[in-house]
């Protein structure tokens, strides 16, 4: 529980409160208020995540060469600016621009923030540290939609004022970054850097997780599915709160289990929950079943998000954390871009086909991960770069 872990967790809580206040209503804002077709939801989210992915790759390398705090501050500042643009949008391309700026900020801040967290705790406790950060981050994702739900009712079902409210915690999050402390460190000299400098076992894990990203399309499409099977706006927000509540509650325990067992085992269990949630949502029109499936989906994210970052950090030395995290998050983000594009274009009238395809693919990948070679090749590297098995 380092100072930076606490401060960055608070920063993430505020930013996620802003983002997740906006996120569950954005598909409805696009399709009902601005009149965009369903395919636009997938395109907007896919392109926005693609912008984040590309910036993550670059920011990760920069984080290993320069100080991290200015990049973290820039990232959270851009996220606040993006929310201002969305609040002012009257046509969907402006929403696309705002989401892209928002996600660009996410991409810039992610790798240096995660590298700062990873280098501040021992290797054997990294899954717990990332789990705590994800739990606090996701607590914001519970608070934000609840504020949105209350505001939706108090503001007589008008959506646009909620977009304006989301700007407030976003700006507060950017201001709080000034409390981050970065210890002086010896920065590497400028020189040629090649992707092959990252270890082979790192690339094997990244390849598997990026492959999964190709079927993990943006959550906005899942929320659109709920709306299409008859969920009202408050019910969509409520289901999203349920998802985030489960995610927040299970994130730290998932990290503890991953530290004691192995990240691949916990990640594989998460993929089973993903397969259950996607397949079930593709087949059911029952509101009760959809609520339960969204709760299971929260379990998937808790078992894979922080655990995945800890898994990656354990394959890298301290001088590679920014580059490795940035490349990992960038490539998986590009995979989500592809997933958002194909799922949005194949959505049809109710999204059944892409949901079933993704659910079945995740089940196959989970079976391979839980029985395949990656489960038995867990290498942790100490902060100084030495290896241990």
pLDDT of residue 389: 30
pLDDT at 382: 39
Report if residue 337 sits inside a domain: yes
User: Residues 208, 264: contact at Cβ < 8 Å?
Assistant: no
Q: Does this model's pTM top 0.75?
A: no
Note the Cα 249 to chain centre separation in Å. Answer: 16
Confidence of residue 378 (pLDDT cuts 50, 70, 90): very low
CB-CB contact of 322 with 309 (8 Å): no
* Predicted pLDDT at 171: 92
pLDDT in tens, 249-306: 898 899 889 888 888 899 999 999 999 999 999 999 999 999 999 999 999 999 998 8
User: CATH number, domain at 133?
Assistant: 1.20.1250.20
- Could you give the number of structural domains in the chain? 1
- Residue 353 confidence (pLDDT) above 60: yes
The verdict on residue 184 lying in a domain is no
Residue with tokens 């996120």: 23
Dist. CA 50–CA 27, nearest whole Å: 18
Residues 155-196: tens digit of each pLDDT: 888 888 888 898 999 999 999 998 888 776 565 555 545 556
Can you give the pLDDT at residue 304?
Answer: 92
Q: Is 188 a domain residue?
A: no
Which whole number is the average pLDDT over 82-89? 90
pLDDT level of residue 334 (50, 70, 90 thresholds): confident
* 190, part of any domain: no
Please name which of 70, 78, 73 lies closest in space to residue 100, comparing C-alpha atoms. 78
**pLDDT range class, residue 386, cuts 50, 70, 90:** very low
Structure tokens at 119: 């280098």
Burial class (CB in 10 A: 0-12, 13-18, 19+), 180: middle
Q: Which residue has the tokens 């930076």?
A: 4
Q: Is residue 191 part of a domain?
A: no
How far apart (Å, rounded) are the C-alpha atoms in residues 50 and 221? 16
Dihedral of alpha carbons 347, 283, 148, 332, sign: negative
Angle at which helices 167-176 and 68-87 pack, to 10 degrees?
170
Q: Could you tell me if residue 215 is inside a domain?
A: yes
Terminal-residue alpha carbon distance, the chain: 25
What is the domain extent for residue 364?
3-178+198-384
Is 189 within a domain? Answer: no
CA distance 116 to 321: 9
DSSP letter (8 states) at residue 122: -
Return mean pLDDT, the chain.
83
Say if 183 falls within a structural domain.
no
């Amino acid at each position: 529980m380092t100072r930076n872990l606490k401060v960055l967790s608070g920063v993430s809580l505020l930013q996620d409160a802003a983002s997740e206040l906006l996120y569950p209503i954005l598909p409805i804002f696009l399709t009902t208020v601005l009149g965009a077709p369903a395919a636009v939801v997938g395109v907007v989210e896919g392109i926005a995540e693609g912008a984040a992915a590309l910036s993550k790759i670059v920011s990760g390398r920069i984080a290993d060469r320069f100080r991290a705090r200015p990049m973290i501050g820039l990232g959270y500042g851009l996220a606040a600016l993006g929310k201002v643009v969305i609040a002012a949008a009257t046509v969907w391309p402006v929403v696309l621009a705002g989401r892209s700026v928002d996600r660009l900020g996410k991409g810039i801040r992610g790798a240096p923030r995660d590298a700062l967290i990873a280098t501040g705790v021992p290797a054997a406790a990294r899954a717990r540290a990332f789990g705590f950060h994800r739990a606090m981050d996701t607590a914001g994702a519970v608070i934000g939609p609840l504020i949105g739900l209350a505001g939706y009712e108090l503001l007589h079902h008008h959506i646009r004022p909620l977009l304006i409210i989301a700007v407030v915690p976003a700006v507060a999050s950017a201001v709080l970054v000034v409390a981050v402390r970065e210890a002086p460190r010896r920065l590497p000299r400028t020189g040629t850097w090649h992707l092959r400098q990252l270890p082979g076992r790192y690339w094997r894990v990244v390849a598997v997780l990026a492959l999964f990203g190709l079927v993990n399309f943006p959550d906005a499409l899942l929320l659109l599915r709920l709306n299409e099977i008859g969920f009202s706006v408050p019910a969509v927000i409520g289901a999203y709160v349920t998802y985030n509540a489960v995610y927040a509650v299970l994130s730290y325990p998932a990290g503890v289990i991953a530290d004691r067992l192995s990240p691949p085992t916990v990640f594989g269990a998460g993929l089973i929950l993903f397969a259950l949630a996607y397949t079930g949502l593709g087949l059911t029109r029952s509101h009760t079943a959809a609520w339960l499936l969204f709760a299971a989906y929260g379990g998937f994210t808790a078992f894979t998000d922080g655990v995945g970052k800890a898994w990656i950090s354990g394959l890298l030395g301290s001088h590679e954390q920014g580059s490795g995290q940035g490349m990992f998050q960038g490539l998986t983000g590009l995979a989500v871009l592809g997933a958002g594009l194909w799922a949005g274009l194949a959505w049809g009238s109710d999204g059944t086909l892409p949901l079933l395809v993704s659910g079945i693919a995740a089940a196959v990948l989970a079976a391979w991960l839980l029985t395949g070679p990656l489960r038995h090749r867990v290498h942790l590297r100490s902060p100084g770069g030495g290896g241990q098995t």
